[in-house]
Amino acid sequence: MNLHLEETLRRNLRKTPDERIETLMAALRDVEARGQWPQVDRKAKEQRILCSIRERLSRR
């Protein structure tokens, strides 16, 4: 697991439920922005993009 995410989870235990959700969402957005999302998810995203491109090309 990402060290940044582990530290966020530890600090999150001391917060209210609403604060926990916001902190976790921010951490996930940060991980995604840095390109550290799991490989499986990246492959799924690439597949969706390729399908979208194929659909657009087939409409021409």
CB 23 within 8 A of CB 8: yes
Q: What is the pLDDT of residue 14?
A: 78
CB 14, CB 29: distance < 8 Å: no
How distant, in Å, are the alpha carbons of 13, 22, 28, 39, 48 from that of 56? 46, 36, 31, 26, 12
The number of distinct structural domains making up the chain is: 1
**Residue span of the structural domain in which 54 resides:** 3-59
pTM of the complete model: 0.43
What's the pLDDT tens digit per position in 12-48? 777 788 887 888 888 888 888 888 777 677 788 888 8
Q: How many CB atoms lie within 10 A of CB 43?
A: 10
CA 33 to the chain's CA centroid: 8
Whether the CB-CB separation of 53 and 34 falls below 8 Å is answered with: no
